[in-house]
Amino acid sequence: QPRKHKPLTRLETPTAPAEDRKLRDDEMRRLIQQVPTDKARAFAFDIDWDAVHGNNIIEKKLRPWVKKKVTEFLGNEEQGMIEFILKKVSAHTKPDTILAELEGFLDEEAENFTLKMWRMLIFEVLRVKAR
């Protein structure tokens, strides 16, 4: 005769993933709203460089984005250009200076590129500090 099994008892009720995701989305939205959209305010934002270096933000977050954008603009993965940009950011170079140096390569895209990169940097700093 077949053995009867006791019904399984749930050890813990997991939090609803949808609820979890909503919380994360709300948090992300709140952080995004804190990132200045205009160039003057974004470029004047006080970057917490300890947070940048302590959380490896340049390598983990900025490198893939810079690589993708440089490839889009120049048509190939210009390693020298990618390293140049990331070194500038690592050295805490002011975004205005980075912008001026990129204008020769990216022309009218330089400002848009630098602003987006700087906003991303600000967002990632706010994100690690919100944890």
Question: Is residue 5 in a domain?
Answer: no
Rounded to two decimals, what is the model's pTM?
Answer: 0.80
**Is 106 within the bounds of a domain?**
yes
At 79-115, the pLDDT tens digits run 999 999 999 999 999 999 999 999 988 889 999 999 9
Tell me: the pLDDT tens digits for 9-50? 555 555 555 655 666 888 888 988 999 999 999 999 999 999
Q: Would you list the DSSP string of 47-114?
A: --HHHHHHTTHIIIIIHHHHHHHHHHHHSS--HHHHHHHHHHHHTT--HHHHHHHHHHHHTTHHHHHH
Q: Is residue 86 part of a domain?
A: yes
Q: Is there a contact between 73 and 113 (Cβ–Cβ < 8 Å)? A: yes
Confirm whether 29 is domain-assigned: yes
Residue 110 covered by a domain: yes
Query: Degrees (nearest 5) of the Cα angle 75, 77, 104?
Result: 65
**2 lies in some domain:** no
Q: Number of folded domains in the chain?
A: 1
Question: Higher pLDDT residue, 21 or 72?
Answer: 72
Token pair listed for 71 = 């490839």
Domain that holds residue 82: 17-130
CATH of the domain at 67: 1.20.1390.10
